[in-house]
Amino acid sequence: MGVDMTVLVVDWAHVTDLAPEDRLRVVQESAYADDDPDGDGGVVDGWVWPAAGSEPAWLGRYEFPGTLGSYKPHFRAAEGWEKVRGAAGGGVRAALDAFLEGLIWWGPRADVDAEQVDPGVFPSLDGLWRSGPLIVRGPATVARLRRRWLEAAPGLEGLRVPYAELAGREPGQWVSGFEEFAELVAGWGEVVGEAERRGWGVIGLPI
């Protein structure tokens, strides 16, 4: 069984109003609560929102195209960035470093893994349904990541040639080339953009 990742944008005020010991359970139980088991999940442009007429939406789920909820494509994209970042221009490299390090990349220091969890939201992770990577980013961090994405996005296309040369193309892999890399990274741009627009946070759980 592989490692999964469910990515949510979350009303931070709603989550932090919950008792700290209840937050993780409520978020996990709510992540798929409104899915139609007989339908297509109601995915519109990658987003799944509560059905009309239900409680006011306090979270939405983003489905990265072609990933089937697996974390492997995110890991592969981080590997691709690790290989190609030295060939990126200084501004693009700094912006994508900060953006990806805040979400899925382990960072530039081989001896220290980047931390993708803002403290104080979940006092304990003992209630996680599955082990795996965790992302917990509040509105202030999301706003910072959104700024870095806006700086990086115009230069993403300039990585096409160095990506092909340095990261290669590996058919059959989750991220087999530049197109898949760019699509997945842009998906994270969509996530932080939607969260920032609402003043919400981002949570990624191994569900």
Which tokens sit at 51? 């059905």
Average pLDDT over residues 33-50: 70
As a whole number, mean pLDDT of residues 11-22 equals 97
**Structure confidence at residue 106 (pLDDT):** 95
Structure tokens belonging to residue 60:
């939405």
In a domain, 97, yes or no: yes
Which candidate, 69, 62, 75, places its Cα nearest to that of 7?
62
- For residue 64, being part of any structural domain is answered with no
Can you list the pairs that 77-81 forms with residues at least 24 positions away whose Cβ atoms lie under 8 Å?
A: 77/104, 77/175, 77/180, 77/181, 77/184, 77/185, 78/104, 78/105, 78/106, 79/167, 80/163, 80/167, 80/175, 80/181, 81/105, 81/181
Higher pLDDT, 112 or 40: 112
What's the mean per-residue pLDDT of the chain? 90
Q: How far apart are CA 96 and CA 78, in angstroms?
A: 11
> Could you tell me if residue 122 is inside a domain?
yes
Query: What local confidence, expressed as pLDDT, does residue 1 receive?
Result: 45
> Is the pLDDT confidence value at 53 over 70?
no
β-sheet with 47-48: strand ranges across: 47-48, 59-62, 6-10, 201-205, 135-137
Specify if 3 maps to a domain. Answer: no
Helix (H, G, I), strand (E, B) or coil at 135: strand
Task: Determine the Cα–Cα distance for residues 1 and 201; give it in Å rounded to an integer.
Answer: 29
- Residue 145's pLDDT band (boundaries 50, 70, 90)? very high
Q: What would the mean pLDDT of 18-29 be, rounded to a whole number?
A: 96
0.85 surpassed by pTM: yes
pLDDT for 46 beyond 60: yes
- Residue 201 · residue 10 · CB < 8 Å: yes
The DSSP letter of residue 153 is G
Report helix, strand and coil shares of the chain as percent, to nearest 5. 45, 10, 45
Nearest 10 degrees: Cα torsion 17, 22, 27, 28: 180
Q: Is residue 125 assigned to a domain?
A: yes
Q: How many CB atoms lie within 10 A of CB 157?
A: 10
pLDDT per position as a tens digit, 155-199: 999 999 999 999 876 665 678 799 999 999 999 999 999 999 999
Range of the domain at 155: 71-207
Alpha-carbon gap, residue 40 to 43, rounded angstroms: 7
The answer to whether position 18 is within a domain reads no
Q: How many domains does the chain have?
A: 1
Residues 5 and 74: their CA atoms lie apart, in Å, by 9
- Residue 43, pLDDT score: 76
100: in domain? yes
Q: Residue 35's pLDDT is what?
A: 67
Please indicate, yes or no, if residue 17 is contained in any of the structural domains: no
